Structure 1
Amino acid sequence: MTDASASVDNSESESRPKKGSYLLLSIFSASHGIFHFMSQSFSVMLPTIKEEFGINPVQVGVLITAKTLAGGLASLPGGIVSDYFRRYRGRIMTVCMIVFALGWLLIGISPVYSLLICGMMVVAVAGSVWHLPSLAELGLQFSKTRGTAMAIHGAGGSIGDIFGPVITGLLLGYLSWRGIISMYSIVPLMMAFVVIWAFRGVGNGRKTEKETKTDPVDLKHQLNTVKELMKKTHIWRINVVAGFRGMCFDIIAAFFPLFMKDELGLSSKSIGFHFGLLWAIGIITSPIMGYLSDRFGRKRVLVPALFYSSALIVALAIFGKGIMFAILLALLGISIRSDYSILTASILDIAGDKVATTMLGILSFTRFIMAAVAPLIAGALYQYVGMEATLFFVAGLFAVSGVIFLTVDLRKNGSSPN
């Protein structure tokens, strides 16, 4: 075999998913589903929690803001540490799942509002850090089909988004919200052992051939690489788009359940059903949109999706009553869970493998910090103006995101196409 043909064979083998990649994708997607199951379950419990603690919509906004800030502040150092200790990603993710479970236990026993905030912050830190090595590892394992892999990972989250609200809405008819959370917290504890088992030999202390060539990991070089990427590429614009999109997502997750109870008069079961409906269609559309972004380009798929979300939110503000509310929620689900997977794939396309989690950490940091302001604004709009004003605010954010992403150059540098 000639050197040229050997080089081609090596290139093809490196681009192919490694042994065990599909098992990792399955387990990561299931774990992602657990995170979203519990997060969206909390959204359905929020009206009940609001009544028990006697808090107003602005205080609900403070609760969500505290959670968002904690996740954002943890993501930046979390990304750097995950890259520096990338051979230990399995252990990092396992610890995160254990802390995530303990955070929910703290929420379940919280007697006062301040302790409830502390529990939300613990949950946010664990969830934020967990996502970074999981996404980076999938980006490495599926380097040629990142959009599809991220979308399947996102679809796992969508499954949790659907079943969490529906099951929790049903259980609230029979159990207290504290009892439900305590019961749910067992699941991530069990999943932690599955993750460490799945990671055996992959990112769990053993060096790959590629890592051996690049050892030792130089933190200064790592940070300089990130600095160069931020200066020479449009990766920061993707971060801004992710921030606006995060603002939209947090407002929807926090205030839709309140709107459904306060203004539409829906029961806990009905809130759970409608909230699950919002995420249901994403199970199908998210992988399709991820595949299309791999095939035809990120921008051609994501820009229309962001404008579509904006239009649907406007329609909800104007026509969101009765059966039209359910129909528009389902239609919004086409794009609401798919966009972030494509943003993540865009970041990984530009960043490469060496600083993947650092760049994802910066992405999460930007998203969380920007999103931290959103619940406060939305809480004030909801309390003093109404849900229509809140929805128009969200629609504007989606539209601005679409305009910004339209201007993004998705090449790795100024001259070389991606």
Structure 2
Amino acid sequence: MAFLSNQFSHVNLRDSGPAFLVGMGHGATHWVLAAFYVVLPYLSKDLGLSYAQAGALVSLFHAASFSANLGSGAIVDIAGRRVLVQALSLIISALALIAIGFSAGLVGLILPIVLIGLTNNLWHPAAISFLSRAFPKTRGFALSIHTLGATFGDMLAPIAVGTLLTFLTWRDSTVVSALPVFAVAAILVFSVRETTEAPTNSGAKSNGSSYIAGVKNLLRDRAIISLCLMAGFRSMTQNGLLVFIPLFLVSVLKVSPVTLGLAMAGLQAGGILAGPVAGAWSDRAGRQPVALICLAATTLAVACFAFVTSLPAFIGLVFILGFALFSVRPVIHSWTMDLADDSMSGTAVSVLFGAQTAFTLAVPTVGGLIADHWGLQTVLYMLAATSLIATIITYTLPDVKRIQTS
């Protein structure tokens, strides 16, 4: 308890309202994607899709998300309308989720999934740079609240959609699950003001010429590029698990929809407990040691999956994995903001998420092909290897310590 109290001693919860509201919005973006992941096995069965085709749909999402990086950071840094961008991304993604429910086949799924991918990556440069500017001294904690919202979205959506699937078709379930996202968008518009994003050491906007110069400097920064490389390998692990754990549970362990939802919620529950601690701890101790511990634990947990065959043991290991896997996200985001110039914060986030998406792009399809030929267990070996690579890269990165302690 003394350790936890010490990590949060620099945090003022009364002033953290915008962080919690933006975190709720982040949860809505993840709610949309998690809902799609849960209906994917039933969608695939109904439409007669193979594992490779199901994986290709997820790869399409990541391809669209990657393409959004070409302009999302520039929109945020030049226009400076971060709250508006967040709200629009939620509205469009909710409409796309509804469209999935009306899709008649594989081709009809393409546009909705592309839109979800585009808006998912449009959210992050606006939200992360907003919080980084609003909470410069407690950046790790504020961004942990942002990721905490994502964890709640990832946790609650599987339970909600899994429950809906017990008495609704997968089509109706996708439509109903989109409705709360519109409400969250409205709350953001009317409750969070653009003026709360006041920067600490540079202008809120960049003009065209200074922006181009800033991009060149950003891409020449070896520390940021190495950090993006590490984040890319870690993202391969995370997104691969989100695709193939549901497929493993349904196809191998033969679980019910409710059990599937509870298992995926368990993956997120660990992050709820560990995320704020890891973020606040990294504010005081530095980003590198916290990230290194989390990634090493993730590697060990994923490696153990290949040897677990009983459902209770599998779900227990899922919870432990979530504790390590998701707690490192705010540390990586804070690390990026520490290294980037304020005027390029949105673009730095775009570069980070672009790297993550680029690395993740082929994982669902390649993993699906591996599962079709050698089984789902073999995919878990591959994901353990990508986590190990991320851990090794982290060891070589420069540390940044936000708060000096005596």
Structure-2-length-normalised TM-score: 0.91
Give me the whole-angstrom Cα distance separating, in 2, the residues matched to 1:362 and 1:253. Answer: 23
Counterpart in the other structure of 1:49: 43
1:303 aligns with 2:292: yes
Counterpart in the other structure of 1:325: 314
Counterpart in the other structure of 1:278: 267
Name the aligned partner's letter for residue 182 of structure 2: L
Q: Could you list the runs of 5+ residues in structure 1 that have no partner in the other structure?
A: 1-15, 413-418
1:305-343 per-residue CA deviation (whole Å, 9 max, x = no partner) reads 111111111111112423211111111111111122211
Task: Report the secondary structure of 1:281's partner residue.
Answer: helix
Q: CA deviation at 1:92?
A: 1.6
Give me the whole-angstrom Cα distance separating, in 2, the residues matched to 1:227 and 1:20. Answer: 39
1:394 aligns with 2:383: yes
Counterpart in the other structure of 1:339: 328
Counterpart in the other structure of 1:7: none
Q: CA deviation at 1:209?
A: 8.4
* Bigger radius of gyration among the two: 1
1:154 aligns with 2:143: no
Using a 3 Å threshold, how does the CA distance of structure 1 residues 353 and 319 change in structure 2: closer, same or farther? same
Q: CA deviation at 1:347?
A: 0.4
18, 23, 26: which one aligns with 2:17: 23
Q: CA deviation at 1:184?
A: 2.0
Q: CA deviation at 1:241?
A: 1.1
Using a 3 Å threshold, how does the CA distance of structure 1 residues 18 and 280 change in structure 2: closer, same or farther? closer
1:88-120 per-residue CA deviation (whole Å, 9 max, x = no partner) reads 212222221111111112111111211212211
259, 262, 281: which one aligns with 2:251: 262
Counterpart in the other structure of 1:102: 95
Give me the whole-angstrom Cα distance separating, in 1, the residues matched to 2:205 and 2:313. Answer: 58
Counterpart in the other structure of 1:91: 84
Indicate if the aligned counterparts of 2:267 and 2:321 stay in contact, CA closer than 8 A. yes
Q: CA deviation at 1:40?
A: 1.5
1:70 aligns with 2:64: yes
Indicate if the aligned counterparts of 1:80 and 1:357 stay in contact, CA closer than 8 A. yes
Name the aligned partner's letter for residue 358 of structure 1: T
Task: Report the secondary structure of 1:202's partner residue.
Answer: helix
Name the aligned partner's letter for residue 243 of structure 1: G
1:163 aligns with 2:156: yes
Give me the whole-angstrom Cα distance separating, in 2, the residues matched to 1:21 and 1:352. Answer: 24
How many residue pairs align between the two structures? 392
Using a 3 Å threshold, how does the CA distance of structure 1 residues 389 and 209 change in structure 2: closer, same or farther? closer
1:354 aligns with 2:343: yes
Q: Could you list the runs of 5+ residues in structure 2 that have no partner in the other structure?
A: 1-9, 402-406
Using a 3 Å threshold, how does the CA distance of structure 1 residues 60 and 299 change in structure 2: closer, same or farther? same
Give me the whole-angstrom Cα distance separating, in 1, the residues matched to 2:122 and 2:109. Answer: 20
1:38 aligns with 2:32: yes
Q: What is the aligned-residue identity percentage? A: 24
Using a 3 Å threshold, how does the CA distance of structure 1 residues 203 and 66 change in structure 2: closer, same or farther? farther
Give me the whole-angstrom Cα distance separating, in 2, the residues matched to 1:19 and 1:334. Answer: 23
RMSD: 2.2
Indicate if the aligned counterparts of 2:32 and 2:93 stay in contact, CA closer than 8 A. no
Using a 3 Å threshold, how does the CA distance of structure 1 residues 21 and 63 change in structure 2: closer, same or farther? farther
